Amino acid sequence: MIHVFLLFSLCFSDYGLILGVTSLGINYGQVGNNLPPPDKVLDLLTALKLKKARIYDTNPQVLTTFANSNIELIVTVENQMLPVVMDPQQALQWVSTHIKPYFPATKITGIAVGNEIFTDDDTSLLGYLVPAIVSIHGALVQLGLDKYIQVSTPNSLAVLEVSYPPSAGSFKGEVSGVMSQFLQFLSSTGSPFWINAYPYFAYKDSPNKISLDYALFNKNPGMVDPYTKLHYDNMLYAQVDAVVYAMSRLGYGGIEVRVSETGWPSKGDSNEVGATVQNAAVYNRNLLRRQMSNEGTPLRPNMRLEVYLFALFNEDMKPGPTSERNYGLFQPDGTMAYNVGLSALATSSSTSSASISLTSSATKVIIP
């Protein structure tokens, strides 16, 4: 019998990774051959008090297991399916097969149509994106599900031509036509713009120019946008606001930006500067602390920023550099990849206040 060892302190009054924070989710990737089964993953998410997760497909085992839980799920139409589901009838069949049988028992709240299509190496996919999004949304309307399930697509920060200073944010010219169509859809349906934002990448590429403390949310002088005079004490918020300005330049200033992925690798190749256990722990600890206070960005201080951490597990079959396989908070056996070490009292909010603690010195909880 496989045992999943969960290294965390667990007590409803004092412990648990997160409690009462509705703007935090986690990415549950499955590109590994040694990951725990979905029921053990649900146990882990429940123990950590996480109530939002994103998966990169519509794995029926996950959707079935997560039924009647408190986990809100974002599911994904895989990139290769875009040419198929751009046809309204095929989209209706896809939703009828992959969504309708599981909803509402499984709390599917979003459908990601593709992932990072605007910057994908296969440029032919971009032409399918908006028709696929419109068709999937149309299928939800036809089935009466559009009031419950949002449709969007996660984007790489590389979709921006300029991201610094934030007020100069603009999209790359070659994608502006399709981007305008996409933003029109988001505006008309009240859906969010999802961005995969990784300060780690910016730091890795320019460690001599970018402050590590600025990238990690540590105390630092920060930067002041010379045009808006807004002060930024961390890179993630600056990246998010750059997206807001880029949308405004195309005439869409009212769309919410949510971070569909962010994280920091705990291990990397020799040329991957900054990919260390210590930096990963600091980044995620500081981000969690910000989430506990329901912060917004300097441009939108009263709109709490929804963030999905990447990722729940280290995934051993992901291609690319070593860092790609080392973004997880947990190892596949359920032990922590590193000690997030967060123990802080949540700031008071309209809903609740709570302590957070995640320590590797805690009791091992063995789930058979």
Domain ranges within the chain, ordered by starting residue = 24-201+235-344
For residue 46, what are the contacts with CB-CB under 8 A and spacing of at least 6?
69, 70, 71
Q: What angle do CA 90, 133, 92 make, to 5 degrees?
A: 25
| Cβ–Cβ under 8 Å, residues 48 and 336 | no
Domain 24-201+235-344 has CATH 3.20.20.80: yes
pLDDT at res. 316? 97
- Which residue, 141, 139, 60, is CA-closest to 98? 60
Sole residue written with tokens 């419950």: 148
pLDDT at res. 22? 73
| Cβ–Cβ under 8 Å, residues 55 and 308 | no
Give this prediction's pTM.
Answer: 0.90
Distance from the Cα of residue 275 to its chain's centroid: 19
Tell me whether strands 193-196 and 154-156 are parallel, antiparallel or unpaired: parallel
- Would residue 8 be called left, alpha or beta, if left means φ above 0 and alpha means ψ between -120 and 50 degrees? beta
For residue 211, what are the contacts with CB-CB under 8 A and spacing of at least 6?
220
pLDDT at res. 248? 98
Other CB atoms within a 10 A radius of the CB of residue 289 amount to 16
Catalytic residues: 116, 261
Sole residue written with tokens 């169509």: 181
Tell me whether strands 231-232 and 223-224 are parallel, antiparallel or unpaired: antiparallel
How far CA 201 is from CA of 3, 213, 274, 275, in Å, comes to 35, 14, 9, 10
* DSSP single-letter state for residue 78: -
Ranges assigned E (strand) in 174-284: 193-196, 223-224, 231-232, 257-262
pLDDT in tens, the chain (368 residues): 334 334 343 332 233 455 556 779 999 999 999 999 999 999 999 988 899 999 999 999 999 999 999 899 999 999 999 999 999 999 999 999 999 999 999 999 999 999 999 999 999 999 999 999 999 999 999 999 999 999 999 999 999 999 999 999 999 999 999 999 999 999 999 999 999 999 999 999 999 999 999 999 999 999 999 999 999 999 999 999 999 999 999 999 999 999 999 999 999 999 999 999 999 999 999 999 999 888 999 999 999 999 999 999 999 999 999 999 999 999 999 899 987 743 332 222 333 333 333 333 333 333 33
Q: Alpha helices of 206-272 — where are they, by DSSP H?
A: 212-215, 235-249
